[in-house]
Structure 1
Amino acid sequence: MRWKIFFIFLLSFKVLVLADTYSSNAFAINGEVKYKDLQYFDYVNPKAKKGGHIKEYAIGTYDSFYDFLFKGTPAKGLNKLYDTLMVRSLDEPSSQYGLIAQRIERAEDNSFVIFHLNKNAYFHDGVEVSAFDVEFSFYTIARGDNPVMNQYYADVKSLQVLDKYTIRFDFSNTQNREIALILGDLPVLPKHYYTEDIAKNPLKIPLGSGPYQIENFVAGRSITYKRVENYWAKNHPTRIGYFNFDKITYDYYKDDLVALEAFKAGRYDYRLESSAKNWANGYEGVALKNKNIIQEEISHSLPSGMQGFFFNLRKPIFQDILVREALNLAFDFEWSNKNIFFNQYMRTKSYFDNSAFGSAGIPINEELQILMEYKNQLPPKLFTHPFVLPTTDGMGENRENLKKAQSLLREAGLSYKNGKLYTKENKPFVFELLLVSPAMERVAIPFAKNLQKIGIDMKIRIVDISQYLNRLREFDFDMIVAVFPQSLSPGNEQSFFWGSKAAKEKGSYNYAGIENVVVDALIQKIINVKNYQELLLYVRALDRVLLWNYYTIPHFHTKNFRVAYWKFLEHPSITPLYDVGFETWWVDEEKLQKLQREYPSFRR
């Protein structure tokens, strides 16, 4: 009798904790979801044919099948192995639809979230997915050895498995509207498969529940995924029109120039091009002339994020804001765009460029009120001048900007001897730019020449991907070219991009070493916003603070995806707003067979 009373108590408790909740199979943190009754997404072809073995490429090497570990270089394509609790739509800014989680309940006060799992979900070995697997995944990924993951999920206070198909997460910060979305992205790992620490054997072939599994690999050189025929979610609304290739192989190349030549020879099938020079003339040849290779620009609505030369403020020579501002004046974007980039780019003027979150002009109204609280801790010009990057006529002289740079350097207490710049400690001003991409050297060399004109010696060093990642994790560099993509709903990720805590944690993304109390305060306010309008105000305020502190020398961006592919690949007529959507493409078998007769490299 006692156990019955206890059981009734549990039922009563469960009803109590589920009071005042929203329950649905989809949700959005800004507004409502687009698809009220999802059949399939607008940007897919629900009748796309399955089949074909396609090849993609990667640069460098790999030594791990687990991209959430702190150490190692993960293989490409690992996201194909695991399903997540929820799936993000690629044509909405912040919406998720249930996958492994069939239904989600969110507390009205955002104090907890409960995921109800799909009882049809199972791993590739036939074992069903349970709440215990979700629990294991959380502790492995979010509470493992990776400081970025730890910080990303920091607002999860605790979790509780309520039953085999139900798991609850309680939050320490009820103001963080994004935390449910972050949990929805959690890949689910099979607890029964991992009997030892994953990090001890990073090349153990993973067991997943997703659309693909690893068929074979040559460590560091190639990896092939094959489509799972009995994939549990192949008819799920979020998966219709997706994952149409039977096999996907990633071949690794030493550098991008070699990889480009391999593409033109038909050794792989698809490239997302990042080089303006390659895009302008790198694809020339018989295959392009005969229209067997297609170059296509696909417009998108993604924020540009920030790419630039990032200073490491842990280095004494970069701690003075006047020095950082002076070095900004030495980068001649207009000349580079004209002579290197074929005028394909526009200058990135904000950490959130190409979005509503980018700041402009001077702060006014509510944004001004936000920043006035920190007035004594901010550069005075932030309140009186729009942030404007230096410009030139593109002719390559840049004299006026370099004169201004020298004045700033002298104002910072540095001095010149025989045309060389010396620090306050009477040491030559010398630093190293660490690169992993040889293509970026073309951008760096003209910058280095301008720095030489003001007495600064910037040495350029290119290293392989493994060494580069290790040095990033240890913050072992003076300056790097870094890229910080931005989402359509900025939130938690800002803390490990720019937060003071992340600056002290090796392996974080705060490469610049930013420790700024105003930045920290604004990030916390961004995480805790109540609505979209507040989010706009606080992100714009953060943008201004980051810009006016000159943590980077901003680069450039384009509003299009530049894709090159062999003509046997097809894609839907509608492309998603916020992604290329390559996982929705498919093979035209007739065109492939024709190419196979013409190009021996297509016979796989």
Structure 2
Amino acid sequence: MWFLRKLNKSFTLRVLCLLCGAFSTVALMPLSAGAQSGHGLAMYGEPALSSGFTALPYVNPEAQQGGMIRLAEPGGFDSLKPWVLKGNGAWGIGVHVAETLMYRSLDEPFTLYGLLAERVETAPDRSWVEFTLHPEARFSDNSPVTVEDVMWSFETLGTQGHPRYHSAWARVASMEKTGERSVRLTFTEADRELPLLMGLRPVLKKAQWDGQDFSASSLEVPVGSGPYIVDKVDPGRSITLRRNPDYWGKDLAVNRGRNNLDVIRYDYFGDANAMFEAFKAGEVTVWRELSAQKWETEYDFPLMQRGDAVKTEIPHGRPSGIMGLVMNTRNPLFADWRVRQAMIEAFNFRFINMTLNGGKDRRITSYFANSDLAMQPGPAGGREAELLEPFKADLPPGTIEGYSLPEGSDRALDRGALRRAMALLAEAGWTVRDGVLADAQGRPFAFEILLNQSGTAMRTASETQQIADIYVQALRNLGIQARITLLDSAQFVQRTNQFQFDMTWYERALSLSPGNEQLLYWGSVAADQPGSRNWMGVKSPAVDAVIGAMVTAETRDDFASAVRALDRILTAGRYVVPVGFSPVSRLAHAADLRYPDRTTPLYGDWPGFLPELWWQEARE
């Protein structure tokens, strides 16, 4: 569904599956010295579930099968290939049609269990990983999933796929078939996360795409190995997926209680208002409400009054991530940290939150707020300080000493913050002339705020525009000329992929086990890579170094210290004007749609939760 476009898959390996593969070439080979082999793989320690588990702890193993769910998406789509940069890919394809070697548990920070792979083996230092395919793995056309499919998929995605796949592939030194159903990847360097990342790569059917320009967008229906097949496509408007009755993995323990609905339909709408009206009319059966104030005041329409729909709040324990207005430091206007701090000072979050949301949201105080990975108040100490010390001279003030956001004011005009902002701008060479802030050459401080008229994963278009409108008014008090530009989804994606903006709305969901994807978010190489998520253009040796420390950490404590160090660098880097977040997800849904509410997973309402764990109660 429309939310947190971070695709995660997970896997289940059972002892019985291991026995089934006992006669393969690899199974007859002794394990490499010290190698670890099993049904799952955790970033640190051992998987929480033993090899004999019968179902994931947060599912309802007895969930009813059948029924339909209709979900809403903003904008449109013009491609059925969500694995490439070109085109606007349909969301559900990558989630329900294609599968990965392993499946990510929603109840552990970062643990995978076998799916297409029945076994995974790694070196003690994670310098290589070997996957053994499940002998029964099949594509929806009943052709077997082979090692050749895996190898072709990994190489093709790593070279022609979306840039998010390139970084990990660049660190694969070799890939070889080691048995009829086994493939080994050896890495250029030891990295605890790389084996898990490769386990989460989608496996596509080589025969369908081989010989084509894979990087091109396409409306050709993909043949996948997942639980659903594409039933109907109305380009740009809707896509309907139907459960495959012959799905090869339906009896695996990792799938028990999952994929319960017969039909999943995604309908596309021009904006969030149209989506909400469709829900109120019963044309969409689930609505994720992003505004706490609306949740309390705007749900008295007939559908709710009749009891045909209900409201549900689902808590989570994941980090806040970062959300707000990002500044593009490729633009010299925002290259100076003092200017960026002035932009933050001018944003009166307390007033905006009270005006638009009744003060309900919590302020995002850092990228990993709401978790034990967040930087702590005050100066860095211990391992954090050690990681930051080599870069001390180049880090902005507050990184090591401690940094916090301005408190804001209950009034629209926060005079204290504006005075601090003006002082910082003066230090950076900006002065007010005839009511206009200008540099020494007389050039005005003017820029564009780019917004998506279809809204985003976490905010509606009207909310982002209201926030931007209030902000623009505040900036005028500093003599700053900011203008808002609204674009449709396709234009917005095109411009942000090419970093053609001054300031824009920015959202990055973060997990409890951040790793190599952080290089795509804010690594130096990604800063110049079109399509990367490093929208702010961070180029920091300190960032690159602490991410390296994260992925090579051998203990959970060292890992957490590296993440907190990264949190300090990013937050004190003042790249984003942050807004607020909610520690719960608010879902309004048809009354006959249910989810396993007794055992909400650690990640809560996260990709893999809705619609995968839901079912529809049979009507009497």
Report the TM-score, using the length of structure 1 for normalisation: 0.93
Query: Greater CA deviation, 142-151 or 494-503?
Result: 142-151
**Pairing 1:442–2:471 present:** no
**CA distance in structure 1 between the partners assigned to 2:248 and 2:466 by the alignment:** 48
User: Alpha-carbon deviation of 1:369?
Assistant: 2.4
Question: Residue 187 of structure 2 is aligned with which of 171, 191, 195?
Answer: 171
Task: Name the residue aligned to 1:587.
Answer: 616
**Pairing 1:62–2:77 present:** yes
Query: Greater CA deviation, 391-400 or 354-363?
Result: 391-400
**CA distance in structure 2 between the partners assigned to 1:486 and 1:503 by the alignment:** 19
Task: Name the residue aligned to 1:103.
Answer: 119
Question: Residue 71 of structure 1 is aligned with which of 83, 86, 94?
Answer: 86
Q: What is the 5 A alignment of 1:261-340?
A: 261-340=277-356
User: Alpha-carbon deviation of 1:579?
Assistant: 3.3
**CA distance in structure 2 between the partners assigned to 1:462 and 1:161 by the alignment:** 50
Question: 2:383 aligns to what SS in structure 1?
Answer: helix
Task: Name the residue aligned to 1:367.
Answer: 384
**CA distance in structure 1 between the partners assigned to 2:70 and 2:170 by the alignment:** 38
Task: Name the residue aligned to 1:48.
Answer: 63
Distance 1:65 1:424, change over 3 A: farther
Question: Residue 39 of structure 2 is aligned with which of 11, 25, 30?
Answer: 25
Task: Name the residue aligned to 2:585.
Answer: 561
Task: Name the residue aligned to 1:139.
Answer: 155
Question: Contact 1:153–1:179 at 8 Å: present in 2 too?
Answer: no
Task: Name the residue aligned to 1:548.
Answer: 572
Question: 1:413 aligns to what SS in structure 2?
Answer: coil
User: Alpha-carbon deviation of 1:12?
Assistant: 11
CA deviations 1:199-237 (Å, max 9, x no partner) are 446110000010001001111111000000010011111
Match for 1:109: what amino acid? D
Task: Name the residue aligned to 2:11.
Answer: none
Distance 1:26 1:426, change over 3 A: same
Distance 1:274 1:531, change over 3 A: same
Question: Contact 1:360–1:387 at 8 Å: present in 2 too?
Answer: no
Match for 1:236: what amino acid? L
User: Alpha-carbon deviation of 1:571?
Assistant: 1.2
**CA distance in structure 2 between the partners assigned to 1:406 and 1:496 by the alignment:** 34
**Pairing 1:394–2:410 present:** yes
**CA distance in structure 2 between the partners assigned to 1:287 and 1:16 by the alignment:** 62
User: Alpha-carbon deviation of 1:270?
Assistant: 0.5
**CA distance in structure 1 between the partners assigned to 2:174 and 2:470 by the alignment:** 52
**Pairing 1:252–2:252 present:** no
Q: What runs of 5+ residues in structure 1 fail to find an aligned partner? A: 1-10, 592-604
User: Alpha-carbon deviation of 1:260?
Assistant: 0.4
**CA distance in structure 2 between the partners assigned to 1:136 and 1:351 by the alignment:** 36
**CA distance in structure 1 between the partners assigned to 2:441 and 2:524 by the alignment:** 27
Task: Name the residue aligned to 1:534.
Answer: 558
Question: 1:133 aligns to what SS in structure 2?
Answer: helix
Task: Name the residue aligned to 2:175.
Answer: 159
**CA distance in structure 2 between the partners assigned to 1:358 and 1:200 by the alignment:** 40
CA deviations 1:162-216 (Å, max 9, x no partner) are 2331100001111x10111111111111112224233446110000010001001
**Pairing 1:377–2:394 present:** yes
User: Alpha-carbon deviation of 1:277?
Assistant: 4.4
Question: Contact 1:264–1:283 at 8 Å: present in 2 too?
Answer: no
User: Alpha-carbon deviation of 1:518?
Assistant: 1.4
Query: Greater CA deviation, 406-415 or 388-397?
Result: 388-397
**Pairing 1:87–2:103 present:** yes
Match for 1:290: what amino acid? R
Question: 1:340 aligns to what SS in structure 2?
Answer: helix
User: Alpha-carbon deviation of 1:392?
Assistant: 2.4
User: Alpha-carbon deviation of 1:366?
Assistant: 2.5
**CA distance in structure 2 between the partners assigned to 1:12 and 1:503 by the alignment:** 41
CA deviations 1:409-434 (Å, max 9, x no partner) are 11111111111101343211111111
**CA distance in structure 2 between the partners assigned to 1:229 and 1:75 by the alignment:** 23
User: Alpha-carbon deviation of 1:396?
Assistant: 1.7
User: Alpha-carbon deviation of 1:145?
Assistant: 4.4
Q: What runs of 5+ residues in structure 2 fail to find an aligned partner? A: 1-24, 456-460
Distance 1:12 1:118, change over 3 A: closer
**Identity of counterpart residues, as a percentage?**
35
Distance 1:413 1:12, change over 3 A: closer
Question: Contact 2:99–2:225 at 8 Å: present in 1 too?
Answer: yes
**CA distance in structure 2 between the partners assigned to 1:12 and 1:29 by the alignment:** 24
User: Alpha-carbon deviation of 1:275?
Assistant: 3.1
CA deviations 1:80-124 (Å, max 9, x no partner) are 001210111111111111111000111123221110110011011
Query: Greater CA deviation, 179-188 or 274-283?
Result: 274-283
CA deviations 1:422-459 (Å, max 9, x no partner) are 13432111111111122211111111110011111111
**Pairing 1:204–2:233 present:** no
**CA distance in structure 2 between the partners assigned to 1:184 and 1:68 by the alignment:** 16
Q: What is the 5 A alignment of 1:466-545?
A: 466-545=490-569
**CA distance in structure 1 between the partners assigned to 2:26 and 2:446 by the alignment:** 69
Question: Contact 2:315–2:604 at 8 Å: present in 1 too?
Answer: no
Query: Greater CA deviation, 536-545 or 418-427?
Result: 418-427
User: Alpha-carbon deviation of 1:373?
Assistant: 2.0
CA deviations 1:8-65 (Å, max 9, x no partner) are xxx8999477332111011211222111122001111111111112211111010111
CA deviations 1:480-502 (Å, max 9, x no partner) are 11111111111101111111111
CA deviations 1:353-411 (Å, max 9, x no partner) are 11111101211223222222222122344333x31111123122201100111111111
Question: Contact 1:317–1:423 at 8 Å: present in 2 too?
Answer: no
Question: 1:180 aligns to what SS in structure 2?
Answer: helix
Task: Give the structure with higher Rg (CA).
Answer: 1
**Pairing 1:577–2:577 present:** no
Question: 1:497 aligns to what SS in structure 2?
Answer: helix
User: Alpha-carbon deviation of 1:152?
Assistant: 3.7
**CA distance in structure 2 between the partners assigned to 1:368 and 1:66 by the alignment:** 44
Q: What is the 5 A alignment of 1:345-364?
A: 345-361=361-377, 362-364=379-381
Report the TM-score, using the length of structure 2 for normalisation: 0.91
**Pairing 1:38–2:53 present:** yes
**CA distance in structure 1 between the partners assigned to 2:296 and 2:181 by the alignment:** 53
**CA distance in structure 2 between the partners assigned to 1:118 and 1:15 by the alignment:** 17
Q: How many residues align?
A: 580
Question: Contact 1:153–1:182 at 8 Å: present in 2 too?
Answer: no
Distance 1:202 1:277, change over 3 A: farther
Question: Contact 2:106–2:601 at 8 Å: present in 1 too?
Answer: yes
Match for 1:519: what amino acid? V
**CA distance in structure 2 between the partners assigned to 1:309 and 1:244 by the alignment:** 39
Question: 1:267 aligns to what SS in structure 2?
Answer: coil
Question: 1:576 aligns to what SS in structure 2?
Answer: coil
Moved over 6 A (4+): 11-14
